[in-house]
Amino acid sequence: MAVEVEKEVKKSNEVFDSKAASSLVNELRQSFASGKTRSYEWRVSQLKSVAKLVNDGERDIVDALRSDLSKPELESVVYEISMLKNSCKVALKELKRWMVPEKVKTSLTTFPSSAEILSEPLGVVLVISAWNYPFLLSLDPVIGAIAAGNAVVLKPSEVAPATSSLLAKLVKEYLDSSCVRVVEGAVSETTALLEQKWDKICYTGNGRVGRIVMQAAAKHLTPVLLELGGKSPVVVDSDVNLKVATRRIIAGKWACNNGQACISPDYVITTKEFAPKLVDVLKEELEKFYGKNPLESKDLSRIVNSNHFARLSKLLDDEKVSGKIVHGGERNETDLLIAPTLLLDVPRDSLIMNEEIFGPLLPIITVDKVEESFDIISSGSKPLAAYLFTSNEKLKKQFVTTISAGGVVINDTTIHLAVHTLPFGGVGESGMGSYHGKFSFDAFSHKKAVVYRSFVGDAAIRYPPYTKGKLRLLKALIGGSILGIIRALFGWS
């Protein structure tokens, strides 16, 4: 017993530095080089193990998320656990089809030949996850990496310590530790990992750290998948079912981790004429959902830590917006709680409109005509998501074609995340690359071009000595012109 305790103490005192990170990567490279991760059987066994991990650990996962974020059980089950189960289900069902090489056509230039695109694993990949959906955003990319046949290192967020610890425990118990590992820690551990050469890095988080990740990756020419964020707008036209629209805005804002989600509505744009009606119904529905004293509600997540509480408080206390609060604004610093807050006619040069809010504050900007919202959105960085509520078909089409965003939803918010046949990712400063469903498999695969030829049909025209006749025929072959080939064969100019 004493020996076991001594081992645990020694282990807890071990420092994960650059040397330890290098050793870990080398170990995983040896496992990958052995070929074990490439087999269909290994991939399926590990995907089934992830599904079992989630099933068996459901109660512990809910408790960890409650500890880290006071996340309501329903949100934990629906937005993290169930979505992971679905990701495993889709991958297991489709994996064999995903792995089959894709046959493609060849041209006259290479006749006779056949060709295919082979999806091969990249190698050893690093997944750095976020704290707001710490279970989902950790294991969802890992599912894609395993499905594609890679070895994986997962670095969970230290800002969600209970979930990080649970992930380390469960992954070690359920998955093949020679190929899938978890490294816990904070800045120093992440820095040690980023110093290593990876075959791909997947990072979910903010743009500031995203730049650090990309800079580290550039040293080794490592490709990156960056899932960042941004100010996701909601445009509300006047010809809507207002009750349904407001409920869906609330669901995407406050019922998604109390606004601490990368695709949560960040601000609303509506007309000056319609704004009072929208605010009134938002107030009514918020009171129905969270009561007259929302700080006592068990259905709202808390702010993750004191640093983020102070950041959000600074946004609220800005002199440009402090008088614009029309609902909410209550705070409890001890319990890290901030009530759902509406701010009307917020100046566009205010602090709250110039950084991602990532919390329960919702500014409302007013315009004379709803079409003016397009210029406002386009004047800023491209968001991760953009939402429009309208019954106007012309406006829908204009919004979809004009607004550049990672994803667009008409007459709802955030639900595109649950559609596994759609890619999830950003554009511009909201990220690069995408995943979910087959897009996860593709994100961690190299699409290798393969051409097959036999020893027959060897054409002399490709070899020296070069003649004008060969040149004419080759130009015709490359151009794909049957008439040109005939003319070249007969020597016609």
140-178 pLDDT, tens digit per residue, is 999 999 999 999 999 999 999 999 999 999 999 999 999
Catalytic residue among 75, 80, 189, 227: 227
pLDDT at residue 13, as a whole number: 60
**In this structure, what token pair is assigned to residue 133?**
């959906």
Instruction: Estimate the share of the chain in helix, then strand, then coil, as percent rounded to the nearest 5.
Output: 50, 15, 35
Specify whether the backbone of 49 is left (phi greater than 0), alpha (psi in -120 to 50) or beta: alpha
pLDDT at residue 484, as a whole number: 75
Q: Pairing between strand 124-128 and 200-204?
A: parallel
In one-letter notation, the amino acid at residue 206 is N
CA triple 360-134-259, angle to 5 deg: 10
**In this structure, what token pair is assigned to residue 244?**
């349904």
CA dihedral sign of residues 426, 427, 431, 432? positive
pLDDT at residue 493, as a whole number: 66
Q: Pairing between strand 424-425 and 200-204?
A: unpaired
Question: Strand runs (DSSP E) across 97-229, as ranges?
Answer: 102-104, 114-121, 124-128, 151-155, 180-182, 200-204, 224-227
Structural domains of the chain, ranges and CATH numbers in brackets: 16-228+437-447 (3.40.605.10), 233-429 (3.40.309.10), 459-490 (no CATH)
Do 206 and 229 touch, CB atoms closer than 8 A?
yes
For 406, residues 6+ apart whose C-beta sits below 8 A from its C-beta are 382, 383, 384, 385, 424, 425, 426, 427, 430, 431, 434
Q: Which regions of the chain are under pLDDT 50?
A: 1-10
Nearest to 154 by CA among 165, 162, 94: 165
The reply to whether 179 belongs to the active site is no
pLDDT at residue 48, as a whole number: 98
CA triple 234-286-73, angle to 5 deg: 95
Query: Which letter does DSSP use for residue 296 in this model?
Result: G
Query: Which letter does DSSP use for residue 38 in this model?
Result: G
Q: What is the pLDDT of residues 460-489, one digit of tens each?
A: 888 899 888 888 887 887 777 777 777 776
In one-letter notation, the amino acid at residue 149 is G
Do 235 and 269 touch, CB atoms closer than 8 A?
yes
The reply to whether 88 belongs to the active site is no
Query: Which letter does DSSP use for residue 491 in this model?
Result: T
How far is the C-alpha of 270 from the C-alpha of 427, rounded, in Å?
25
Query: Which letter does DSSP use for residue 77 in this model?
Result: I
Catalytic residue among 88, 179, 256, 262: 262
Do 136 and 88 touch, CB atoms closer than 8 A?
no
How far is the C-alpha of 450 from the C-alpha of 466, rounded, in Å?
28
State the residue for tokens 């805005």: 249
